[in-house]
Structure 1
């Protein structure tokens, strides 16, 4: 499997683990519930490990921006769907800008390749 493909798959896994970790952070009730707190820690450790794998070939600035940006967008979606929280128009606009930034970086920046 090509190294770049492995890096992008690792980055995708890192993003998903970060989203799961953040979701369990919500469920941990400020670390007062042991089960969700332990699961959160495992997901965050896995996320950082997979991010480090992605950094074997991807530039730090690009990988971290994609990880942070898409993680933020997906956590916002989880907060709406799972936790029944609401987003106002400005929050949705901000999320759209994050997605646009990630797309522009990956589609048009030579640093991303």
Structure 2
């Protein structure tokens, strides 16, 4: 499987794990608490496989940045977190940074 697809899947599982952190209410709810470890285990497994075909510097930056952007969107739409112009602009900056990192790999 393509490393980029593995990385994307790893990011999605990481976002699911982070979402379960919120849903677990400090490990007071059993199912979300268990799912934290399941989702993060799968995420790290897939991320490790993705690293076989990618530079770690690019892969980790994409993983962290896209994960942050996605969990912010989840927070806004699912958990009704406040949204303002600074948050939206910051999301665009994170996404622009991810695009720039990927382009730098092709330009060099």
Query: Is 2:72 aligned against 1:80?
Result: no
Question: Where do 4+ consecutive residues of structure 1 move more than 4 Å?
Answer: none
Query: 1:32 — aligned with what?
Result: 28
State the superposition RMSD in angstroms.
Answer: 1.7
- Partners of 2:107 and 2:11 in 1: CA distance: 17
Query: 1:57 — aligned with what?
Result: 53
Deviations 1:50-72 (A, max 9, x none): 10001001011100000010001
Offset at residue 110 of structure 1 (A): 2.6
- Partners of 2:13 and 2:106 in 1: CA distance: 25
**Conservation of the 8 A alpha-carbon contact between 1:62 and 1:111:** no
Q: Normalization by structure 1: what TM-score?
A: 0.89
- Partners of 1:112 and 1:18 in 2: CA distance: 29
The total of aligned residue pairs comes to: 108
Q: SS of the counterpart of 2:54?
A: coil
